[in-house]
Amino acid sequence: MDNPHEQMIIRKAVRDDALQIAEILVEDWKTAYRGIIDSDFLDSMSVESRYQREVKRYQKYTVAESGKEILGFAWNETAGEDPADCEIVALYVRSAKRKNGIGRALFQNSIDFFRAAGRKKMIVWCLKENVEARKFYEKMGGKTYITGSHRWGDRDYDMISYLYQLDG
């Protein structure tokens, strides 16, 4: 696929998408987070167990698709803690499909969705050490906001958030 935009559509996920969502998530974690998240935790991840989680919440996702292949997905929530009133909980693109505008298209779709719902400020969290994601969120206009931590396995990891003004 030379130009993914020619054939790419963005739509709400359906149940049949859950397996590909799980595949993307596990692949991305095992590649992008290697050296950030403990290897034991990453090595314990499996598509089968992740599928069991994703099939229960596939309705939360918006997917970018070309043909029958899911290229990436976003999880949007229209609730949030002050000052944000909405959040992109997750945004993933297949490793082999990155740098083709898929993440940008999913991100913009999320903003359009939130604006249509009357939301004013969006927050996105990512691992502080995930330099690639941080560059993307900054390029998309995010302003660093607060830091925090999240536990995966038996370790806490530093997180950073980005805030986006949607009404101006």
Distance between CA 86 and CA 157 in Å, rounded?
A: 23
Given 3.90.550.10, 3.40.50.740, 2.40.50.140, 3.40.630.30, which CATH number is that of 4-165? Answer: 3.40.630.30
C-alpha distances (whole Å) from 23 to each of 16, 32, 52, 132, 149 are 13, 14, 12, 20, 25
How many residues does the structure list for the chain?
168
Q: What is the pLDDT along the chain (168 residues), one digit of tens a residue?
A: 444 445 899 999 999 999 999 999 999 999 989 999 999 999 999 999 999 999 999 999 999 999 999 999 999 998 866 789 999 999 999 988 888 899 999 999 999 999 999 999 999 999 999 999 999 999 999 999 999 999 998 899 999 999 999 986
Q: Taking the domains of the chain in order of start, what are their residue ranges?
A: 4-165
Q: What is the pTM of this model?
A: 0.91
What is the chain's mean pLDDT, rounded?
92
